[in-house]
Chain A
Amino acid sequence: MRIAVAALLMSAALGVSGAPAADEGSFVVIVAASNPATSIRRQELARFFLKKTGRWNDGRGVVPVDLSAGSPVRSAFTRAVLSVEGMGQISSVQNFWLQQVYSGRSSPPTVKATDAEVLAFVAANPGAIGYIAPVAAAGGVKVLTVTD
């Protein structure tokens, strides 16, 4: 038991590093243009998408929207953001949601197939937050700066 705990703590010490920088330019995080937020911390972003927390500072509910599991943008977002919760692979995130769904604890975010659908969803929902490829950003939404 002592050895197992020591190994756990040692591994944890090695895992303090942040998300891969190569993914930083692969996506942008968007919210509705009416949302007063201008930036968001990576930890907070991860908790929103895992539904561990769900309130904006003004008390409004957060509505995260995901891209499909096969999307390279979702892969980049997962590696860069959800890795702070130890879920840097989409399969890890899917397993997390399976655990939540089959235990009755939570349900995964809405999933949209394309950047355009995510953009339209975010633009139409004041509390929504999504991510899309940088070139896809357009009117009705604004891009949040992601900080550590």
Chain B
Amino acid sequence: MNAKRWPAGVSLAVAAMLAGAPTASAQEANDFVIRGFVSQGFLKSSANRLLDAETDEGTFAYTEAALNFTAQPVPKVRVAAQLFARDFGTQGNNRVVLDWGVGEYRAWDPLGFRIGRVKFPVGLYNTVQDADVARPEIFQPSGVYPPERRDLTNAIDGGGIFGTLQLGGAGYLEYEALYGTLDLDGTYILLRSSKQASAALVAPLSGLGFTNVNYVVADNSGKSKRAWGGYVEWHPPVSGLRIRGGLQGAEVDFLTTTNYSMFAGPAPVSITARSSVHFEVPHQFVISGEYSRGGLRLTAEHARQRTEGLTVISGLPFPVPPNATVAEPISTYGQAAYRFNDHFQASGYYSVSYADRNDKDGAKLAARGQAASGAYEKDLAFTLRADVNAHFLVKVEFHDYNGTLILSPVENPNGMEKDWNLFAVKATFHF
């Protein structure tokens, strides 16, 4: 871990202290509330590198920090924002970003307006993907909450409507609908896309007789054309039960400039290639159910989407036809969490995900020369959470994986093991 990265995360906490954040309870004052947390994790996988972190060797390069404020200047108006810094392998580097920031006007229960950078309500728990303190596990089920695509589902820059509708004896409905764009500047999904697009040309160049083909990503940029999403959540007249249906979509473009260096016989050769990747999720459905009673919480979610990609490459000494791809990823998980008392909570989930429901065993991937295990992922996870006191908690988590869907071949150049596991520990101080 780069020691220089520490101050960004810690400085958020220090800033909060200097700002006069209450130490006993942030709920005491309602007009202006400051909250925040600092997390430090340790990850060790039996094999494979997860999200470009050196998890196979064991790594502490997993820190998160957030500073959050909420203010209600007048009764119908609320403003809130969160600064967030993250370091996960090569992701984030503790760069402080505006995680979300919203202005809200709600004059009526059935209709309110929200504008700004708004957390994307995918599934039941996407909006707390940056709030370790607000969930039982360290890593959320990756099929519904894919960590490698978190930048595509973090927040929408735009606005929308929300509200609560009474249904009489049938309970009530909550809903939200948002439209806007995504901020992809400097994100991991952009970096990963650039690396994969660049690496994809190494084999064709080698096939032409070039040797020692190496590349450097000289420049990349990401632009979001649009993103939209929303949900309807039904609370039937059954204590603790809620059922949600959500629909989302996004359209993004990634541009990458890559410098290739190689040899044609004894002569060094340099080539600059430009790749354009258009990626679209025309729609994603997420169906969710949660039941809570006492300390028990049961959750099941199912996600299904369609993705369309088009890659166009120029600048090469040979023609490369545009490459169009279509896939229909699906994922399902079930989770049980039980809180024994104020201090201890145990939870576990089983998640099954496929990159394409028409290629569950990876036969099509294998036919293209890729590992069949990249087509699926089955994840059995267990977590113990200990809230030592009101401000400090520790989580210990174990994952048993079958499949390499969330892994990147570019980040694992020596190959990936199909069956692997991950051990994670995370400590969080919050106020």
A interface vs B, CB < 8 Å?
A: 1, 4-5, 7-8, 11-18, 43, 47, 52-55, 61, 63, 66, 68-69, 83-89, 91-92, 95, 97-99, 101-111
Contact = CB atoms under 8 A, between A and B. Distances in A.
A54 B27 CA distance: 18
Given A55-B108, A83-B239, A111-B25, A91 B342 contact: yes
B241 A15 contact: yes
A103 B30 contact: no
Interface of B is mostly: strand
A110 B32 CA distance: 11
Contact of B291 (A8, A47, A53, A107): A8
Q: Is the interface of A mostly helix, strand, loop or mixed?
A: mixed
Interface stretch (B75-83, B396-404, B418-426): B75-83
Which interface residue of A1, A13, A18, A104 has the most chain B CB atoms within 10 A? A104
Interface string B325-360: 000000010100001001000000000000000000
A104 B174 contact: no
7 contacts: A11-B298, A86-B240, A101-B26, A101-B68, A103-B100, A107-B33, A108-B27
Contacts of A69: 25
Interface residues of B, number: 59
B58 interface: no
Contacts of B300: 1, 4-5, 8
Given A12-B241, A15-B293, A104-B101, 7 more contacts: A12-B240, A43-B237, A86-B291, A88-B293, A99-B127, A101-B35, A104-B70
Given A12-B238, A108-B27, A103 B289 contact: no
Interface in B93-112: 100-102, 106, 108-109
Contacts of A95: 134
A88 B66 CA distance: 29
A1 B330 CA distance: 12
A102 B131 contact: yes
A16 B238 contact: yes
Contacts of B68: 101-102
Contacts of B292: 86-87, 92
A29 to B, nearest CB: 19
Contacts of B237: 16, 43
B291 A11 contact: yes
A1 B342 CA distance: 31
A132 B398 CA distance: 44
